[in-house]
Amino acid sequence: MTTATSPVIRARNAKYQANVTKRGQAKISSTHAAEKKVAKRPSLNPYLVGFLIVVLCGGATFEVLRLFGATVGIEY
């Protein structure tokens, strides 16, 4: 048994059916554009990155020297 839909339900269905083709195409608001600009900044301080590179490369250098038998430091 089928029932007829009320005019209110038909109007709502038409409204949401028109919205189906617009999904995923929302306009970018000014606050969203500001958030995108903030996201472009590097998340780490350049000085911190430089410090980490020096520590890692220095540690690797000492390990290579230790591996090949070079003495680092003062011998007593």
pLDDT digits (tens, 9 = 90+) for 57-75: 999 998 888 888 766 565 6
Residue 65 lies in a domain: yes
pLDDT digits (tens, 9 = 90+) for 44-59: 888 999 999 999 999 9
Residue 15 lies in a domain: no
pLDDT at 27 over 70: no
Per the model's pLDDT, the better-predicted residue between 49 and 18 turns out to be 49
Q: What is the pTM of this model?
A: 0.38
Q: How many domains, in total, are found in the chain?
A: 1
Residue 29 lies in a domain: no
Containing domain of residue 62, as a range?
Answer: 44-71
DSSP string, 17-66: HHHHTTTT-PPPPHHHHHHHHHHTS-SS-HHHHHHHHHHHHHHHHHHHHH
